[in-house]
Chains A and B, each alone.
Chain A
């Protein structure tokens, strides 16, 4: 299938023998901004992780940027923000070092960083407003700042497909607005964006399409405005009683 940044067909993923994503079809066109919504345990995170090859699919097919996943090699065209609460590891690393590691798909073995790598790192740091913290240890930053480091690490590869798994958890409103501007400019440049979230906040206005997952199945796929009316009653009709199981999250329910 041409013209699609991400194409998932009949995808089933089982974790530990339990089906978590069930027969999902999803196509994200070039330049499209799609959000995958759903409550905790709805399978939204597993869906994108399987689409990127991070968890094996039980059955079904995935195409990334026009190539079947097993043959896909153009990883420099994919930016990924994993779901993390911290960007730190056991050894200190500076903000710049972590962001630079996002550039690896562009680098050959045993080569030094090229000038355009440095420029990309500077631009990514600037985009998330962390240029003045470049030399600081990521562990010393607040949770929201660390989240922005992870976003910069995904932007630095100059992706055609950007996958973000709950990137705004712990990010304050001014910086959610900043992120929304960054994503808007990437979206305008034709970057396909897949955003996993349970509430959208300021990103709401950018979304072309919303896909709502419930218990591993797609229960809604369409205009984000309709997601509230279509999916929410569905949720109430089959409420599973899990805490935080509100399909669309408070950001949606409270909308006028």
Chain B
């Protein structure tokens, strides 16, 4: 196959691959906010109550994390649906092999969700500082467990050779060389996303991020934009190192697929996206502020990097699975009616969501 992903695959497979990557990207936007946001808050809390009060990002995260979690779960439903069409056997088998361990992510998610609500409640505000540290660290540990479980589940779904042996052993754990670097890559690359999102949240709330910061907004001597830039850069560097480490664990033919015609353009897009982000954050560190044009470039780099990353992820998976056996399933699924109905209602729902946001903004401004 000499065409870039997803071209070169049969039309039905292309359709589901595009839908999977597109909906997964939307899920990532919120999931990264939750994962990195909880980690940021957990670490930020350790610096003490006064600094947390000074740091607007922490307040914002406390305020928005529950909603972002709800959006992450809701947005996660669509890729979960399309993965069942594309890779049903592998996905189901990995679920079944990890069994109770895998299913534990659900009660953990439930607890974490409520901990985030607890974090913004007046009840916790009246408690000692250590309570707030405990609650957010517990939530972070929970989300970390979920991230680990997803990574393990994904890698196991690609490794058919170990399925029967793992089942017989009944161990409910799958340890492989790629697990830690892959988990680290996803975790660390969540921080650049969080940095971009916090920037735009601040912008929408009217914070003067394009102007030099006042002393009162500095924490540890860093302006708000500089703090974001440091977080974004650390995530980019750490994530890239972890990606390289993960690549080293892949079989040579998989690496060849990623660097070959199928994956090369997406790998390049990912690299370009990461470099763009690093460049813009570098400028922001020096200047202590970030104007709108550069922020636009940063956002473009972020989206490009994320899209490239997700496409490369699928190229790796497609190399590992028996695609020929899956194609008839994709063909059959695509032949089932209902796609136009989905498109129509998805468009109407998107329009209604936009209308809601605009109407609420108008409603709020009319009351001011």
| A and B interact physically | no
